[in-house]
Amino acid sequence: MIPDVLPDLPLARASVDRAALLRDRQDVLPAALADPRTRVLAVRDGGLLLTGAAAVRWLTPADAARVYAAGGPGPADAAAPPIDRWLLLGVEDDGTRVLALRLHDRHPLSTGGEPADVLVHLPDGPVARDGWGSLRTVGASLDAHDAGLATAAVALDAWHDRHPRCPRCGAPTRVAQAGWSRVCDVDGSEHYPRTDPAVIMAVVDADDRLLLGHAAAWPAGRWSTLAGFVEAGESAEQAVRREVHEETGVVVDEVDYVGSQPWPFPASLMLGFRARATSTAVRVDGVEMADARWFTRDELTAAVASGDVLLPGGASIARALVEQWWGGPFPG
């Protein structure tokens, strides 16, 4: 029997108190920056500063500022990050404030280079270019606490990057509420982080086979559950039926919600469903979707073992949906 809800999803686990009531206080960021107990994660373009491969490298405000300055045009220590580059992520149970620092666009930490290059020496060790990792890649390895905070940081950073101007009048907006909104001083409008709903579904037929697709844009061998964005004026359930039919020609009737996951690349909320197919003939458009097919458990087991099928990464709800149907984690 397949359970009704998904197990813990890597990017959607418990996190700290988001402290929304503190965001309006003018002194909340200056006070946090003046406290050496405050913990900071550095974020840029979907990536994080890491310690080793699988943990966030937490910094003091002073050390985070040195990482920021090390990528700037002036001498290290010279350029303090502007206040609007800091985001309040939350407050721990013991009162410790947690911030993210948004590195600037061309910060060398986030844009590659010689891996051995050390950008700045900190008391707890050097920060090198290869200390950077994508949340998409490392998300499944982070502990629950850090995964939740890193997801919020990456989502906020992506939103600020892509929404510098007022959608009403086009004027530049300024950051407010400790990083959680932007305000247009020309027309007084307030703007909040965007989240775009998308549906992702495990489509199963009467023989309990799973429908997987191979999108034209994916590398060879990559197969995953079907997914797509919810359109304007559409329910999530309608989106499931429409997307499955558009992408594969398969007709779906019953649709059950099983769980959700933020997917901040850059701004999706993945709504996970299990859907029952009432037809099995597959017809792909050959443009967006290159191939789609039904798998029995034995067929998928063999295809994964032989390397013919590469499943989505462990941080994704797609992987969780496949494994929920399959009956447990795939080895390796």
Q: Which residues bind Zn ion (CB under 5 A)?
A: 166, 168-169, 171, 184, 186-187
Tokens of 208: 């309990």
Q: How are beta strands 39-44 and 47-49 bridged, if at all?
A: antiparallel
**Residues 4, 73: contact at Cβ < 8 Å?**
no
Question: 266 preceded by cis ω (within 30°)?
Answer: yes
Q: Supply the minimum distance, in Å, between the C-beta of residue 86 and Zn ion.
A: 24
**Residues 33, 86: contact at Cβ < 8 Å?**
yes
Compare residues 34 and 171 and give the one whose CB is closer to Zn ion.
171
Burial of 267 (0-12, 13-18, 19+ CB in 10 A): middle
Helix axes 297-306, 317-326, angle to 10 degrees: 130
Compare residues 54 and 186 and give the one whose CB is closer to Zn ion.
186
Burial letters for 2-19: b for 16+ Cβ neighbours within 10 Å, e otherwise? eeeebeebbbbbebbebb
Tokens of 153: 């940081």
Q: Supply the minimum distance, in Å, between the C-beta of residue 162 and Zn ion.
A: 16
Compare residues 112 and 167 and give the one whose CB is closer to Zn ion.
167
Identify any residues that bridge with 132 across adjacent strands, giving them in sequence order: 49
Q: Supply the minimum distance, in Å, between the C-beta of residue 185 and Zn ion.
A: 8
Burial of 93 (0-12, 13-18, 19+ CB in 10 A): exposed
Compare residues 185 and 208 and give the one whose CB is closer to Zn ion.
185
Q: Supply the minimum distance, in Å, between the C-beta of residue 158 and Zn ion.
A: 21
Compare residues 171 and 216 and give the one whose CB is closer to Zn ion.
171
Q: Supply the minimum distance, in Å, between the C-beta of residue 170 and Zn ion.
A: 7
Q: Supply the minimum distance, in Å, between the C-beta of residue 176 and Zn ion.
A: 13
One-letter amino acid identity for 317? I
Q: Supply the minimum distance, in Å, between the C-beta of residue 189 and Zn ion.
A: 5
Compare residues 66 and 182 and give the one whose CB is closer to Zn ion.
182
Compare residues 182 and 241 and give the one whose CB is closer to Zn ion.
182
Query: How many CB atoms are closer than 10 A to CB 45?
Result: 17
